[in-house]
Amino acid sequence: MVAPLKVGIAGLGTVGAEVVRLIETQARVLAGRSGRGIRVVAVTARSKAKKRGVDLRGVEWAKDPLALATHPEVDCFVELMGGAGDPALAAVEAALNAGKSVVTANKALLAKHGIKLAKAAEKHGGALNFEAAVGAAIPVIKTLREGLAGTGVNRVYGILNGTCNYILTRMEQEGLSFAECLKDAQRLGYAEADPSFDVDGHDTAQKLAILASLAFGTKVAQSAVYVEGISSIAPEDLRAAADLGYRVKLLGVAVRTAKGIEQRVHPTMVPKSSSIAQVMGVTNAVTIDGEGIPPITLVGPGAGGAATASAVVADIADVARGIRANPFGRPISHLHDTTKAPMERHEGGYYIRLLARDFPGTAAAIATRLAEQKISIESIVQRHPNGGAAPATGKAAPVPVILITYATHEDAVRRALAAVQRDKVISGRPQVIRIEKN
């Protein structure tokens, strides 16, 4: 008879407590699927007295994460503390160096130290599983690492942050401002008191760096990701997008180009007909474009205790089965370095919103600057404020002008708009949103 897999869990917050509960309540199912039992034998957390709604009688309390990671009775160390540094880093390193398997949901740790940890797993024979680090219950890690092992990936992109998707959904559906939606997201618990990590795109960037490594065989490098958040998006951008057949999403995009792997996070207009455009609220989605197959889109809850715990337990079950996949899909020696691709080289369509001053020659000046950079316009929309009536001051208000370009280079767009601003024919800063075609 095969001995049960003995699990130690560091971190008993919402996810950790749910993992304990699932292992207990699904014990028979897990044993049947894994070929052996799975049992939590030790835990550690900041407070032993806290009520967590799970039965921990008979489970040993380790004095700290490092002690748990090196506990002689623990076969699989589960890290659910979070953070890119210690104690998570020290504990995970210690477990891997002791030949134990590790399961983690810690995207920050992997984005910063993933290669070093994968080397330790490779050297000492343990597994390093992290399905819950990206997309929670969406099985995108296994899809890229195992399911598509024989398929070349050309592009992987998706909605990787539920907070941003919730805010953009509310802004679109209710015409609310970014600030109003953010405040409501904080009230409902979808956004942190300090929401900058989410709304500025850094959470998505960490997840994208992990996906890019799996998709393209690059070393995980968050520093190689261009990052732009959603705070500049206004309701008028979402209305214009709807009129033009698009929807605005914060996307993480990693794509193979002739100049290398481009990794970028930014607000993006996607066609309403696309699968990714249908994903609303706090839901996440990832689309994979592979060679010789139609695009695959995986959709599901990207966060939450139950969803994240489900992915953690699935990773533990893989350890119990004896599965030892390369953490990033390839031996470490086969992963190659990647550098930040300058966005000036990015090629694609653009949405541009300008506040054009109502002067003679304004339209001609804008058209001239675009033509100088060989930018072709697919469509142009002019929106007169107040139905075209002059304001009470008698001075004509700036007129919103919306341009959709054909494919061009980012540096051309930037040069053209800089020249338009120098010509003083527009008010304020232009709004620019990239367009991602199907």
Please provide the DSSP assignment of 386-408 as one string: GGGPPPTTSSPPPEEEEEEE-SE
Structure tokens at 29: 């199912």
Mean residue pLDDT of the chain comes to 92
| Mean pLDDT along residues 41-60 | 92
Helix (H) or strand (E) holding 238: helix 235-243
- pLDDT, residue 385, reads 57
- pLDDT, residue 49, reads 84
- Beta strands 347-356 and 408-409, pairing class: antiparallel
- pLDDT, residue 395, reads 63
Residue 435 has pLDDT above 60, yes or no: yes
Q: Is 286 annotated as a binding residue?
A: no
- Alpha-carbon separation of residue 179 from 171, 197, 228, 244, 357 (angstroms): 10, 16, 17, 25, 27
Residue among 207, 249, 395, 437 flagged as catalytic: 207
How far apart CA 228 and CA 206 sit, in angstroms, is: 13
Residue 211 has pLDDT above 50, yes or no: yes
> Would you call 112 a catalytic residue per the annotation?
no
Q: Is 108 annotated as a binding residue?
A: no
Q: Is 51 annotated as a binding residue?
A: no
Angle between helices 202-216 and 107-124 (to 10 degrees): 30
Structure tokens at 214: 């799996």
Residue 390 has pLDDT above 50, yes or no: no
What are all long-range contacts of 172-180, with beta carbons under 8 Å and residues at least 24 apart?
172/238, 172/242, 172/247, 172/248, 175/235, 175/239, 176/235, 177/234, 177/235, 178/230, 178/231, 178/233, 178/234
Q: Is 10 annotated as a binding residue?
A: yes
pTM above 0.85, yes or no: yes
Tens digit of each residue's pLDDT (9 = 90 or more) over 16-47: 999 999 999 999 999 999 999 999 999 999 99
Tens digit of each residue's pLDDT (9 = 90 or more) over 216-244: 999 999 999 999 999 999 999 999 999 99
60-61 β-sheet, strand order: 60-61, 38-44, 5-10, 76-79, 101-104, 128-129
Would you place residue 438 in the very low, low, confident or very high pLDDT band (cuts 50, 70, 90)? low
Q: Is 122 annotated as a binding residue?
A: no
Helices (H), 5-106: 14-25, 27-34, 65-69, 88-97
CB 100 within 8 Å of CB 78: no
Tens digit of each residue's pLDDT (9 = 90 or more) over 250-300: 999 999 988 889 999 999 999 999 999 999 999 999 999 999 999 999 999
Q: Is 13 annotated as a binding residue?
A: yes
Q: Is 252 annotated as a binding residue?
A: no
Question: Could you give all domains of the chain from N- to C-terminal order, each with its CATH number?
Answer: 5-137+308-330 (3.40.50.720), 143-300 (3.30.360.10), 344-435 (3.30.70.260)
Helices (H), 99-234: 107-124, 140-142, 162-174, 178-187, 196-199, 202-216
